[in-house]
């Protein structure tokens, strides 16, 4: 066996359809119970518990305990980025699960990717920051420019606090639906929180879909047009 990271083990964990459905459900950033994840995967609670134990042991999930309840969430943002990248590969290769209804177009328009904005609106936010010189790309990764620091501070976001996070301030995340970049990292998460706090949009219950109001779209365009 060759030395180095064992990607086969991680691929096997993600490759099971039930476990893949559980991980996808957690891409919304919410912590879910074993019962909720069993429903997402279409398996019994006992089977779900076995899958969840394997995912936790493999370092893909973390557990939060609150009283007698146990909640599962993705281990970290690296896992979220891995899943988003795999979704992009699946789309490009033509491996799609087709379900009736408006869910897919709505998710393509605006959705949560773990804790930041994705879909068409996320792409527009990223490209606006890039076009206005607030971020610049270096070796494929965005960095905040001096003008961007002024802009972000003007929005009232705590730049020093965001920069002090263990995770990167700015990170490129390849959007599975648009196949272009949206903004992840602590700044991407803070900008989505800023959108929520200003009432421009809200998240649909039990979904990754982000719904912008008419006035919220106008405000978004004025800020990131």
Q: What is the pLDDT of residues 187-216, one digit of tens each?
A: 999 999 999 999 999 998 878 899 999 999
Q: Do residue 114 and residue 209 come from a single domain?
A: yes
Residue 154 binned pLDDT confidence (cut-offs 50, 70, 90):
very high
What is the Cα gyration radius of the chain?
18
Q: What is the CATH number of the domain that holds 58?
A: 1.10.10.10
Residue 113 shares a structural domain with residue 214: yes
Model confidence pLDDT, tens digit, residues 39-77: 999 999 999 999 999 999 999 999 998 888 899 999 988
* pLDDT recorded at residue 101: 41
d(CA 12, CA 28): 22
Ramachandran angles phi, psi of 191, nearest 5°: -70, -35
Once rounded to an integer, what is the mean pLDDT over residues 87-113?
74
User: Is 171 inside a domain boundary?
Assistant: yes
Whether residue 124 is found in the same domain as residue 178: yes
Same domain, 23 and 108: no
Q: Is the dihedral of CA 171, 132, 117, 177 positive or negative?
A: negative
CA 170 to chain centre: 14
Measured distance CA(100)–CA(80) in Å, rounded: 26
Q: Clarify whether residues 129 and 165 are in a common domain.
A: yes
Domain coverage including residue 21: 7-75
pTM to 2 decimals? 0.78
Note whether 214 and 174 are same-domain residues. yes
Domain count, the chain: 2
Integer angstrom CA distances of residue 51 from 57, 59, 174, 182, 206? 10, 13, 28, 31, 22
Considering the domain architecture, whether residues 141 and 71 belong to the same structural domain is answered as no
Per-residue pLDDT at 100 exceeds 50: no
The confidence score (pLDDT) of residue 197 equals 97
């Amino acid at each position: 066996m060759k030395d180095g990271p064992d990607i086969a083990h991680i691929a096997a964990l993600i490759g099971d359809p039930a476990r893949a459905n559980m991980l996808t459900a957690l891409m919304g950033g919410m912590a879910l119970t074993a019962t909720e994840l069993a429903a997402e995967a279409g398996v019994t609670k006992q089977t779900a518990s076995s899958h969840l134990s394997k995912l936790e042991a493999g370092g893909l999930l973390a557990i939060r305990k609150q009283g007698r309840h146990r909640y599962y969430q993705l281990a970290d943002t690296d896992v979220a980025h891995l899943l988003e990248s795999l979704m992009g590969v699946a789309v490009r290769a033509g491996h799609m699960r087709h379900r009736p209804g408006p869910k897919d177009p709505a998710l393509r328009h605006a959705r949560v990717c773990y804790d930041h904005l994705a879909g068409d609106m996320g792409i527009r936010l990223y490209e606006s920051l890039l076009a206005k010189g607030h971020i610049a790309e270096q070796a494929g990764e965005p960095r905040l420019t001096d003008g961007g620091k002024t802009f972000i501070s003007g929005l009232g976001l705590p730049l020093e606090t965001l920069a002090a996070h263990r995770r990167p301030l700015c990170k490129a995340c390849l959007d599975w639906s648009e196949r272009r970049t949206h903004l992840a990292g602590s700044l991407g998460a803070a900008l989505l929180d800023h959108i929520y706090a200003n009432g421009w949009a809200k998240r649909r219950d039990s979904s990754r879909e982000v719904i912008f109001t008419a006035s919220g779209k106008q405000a978004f365009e004025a800020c990131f047009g």
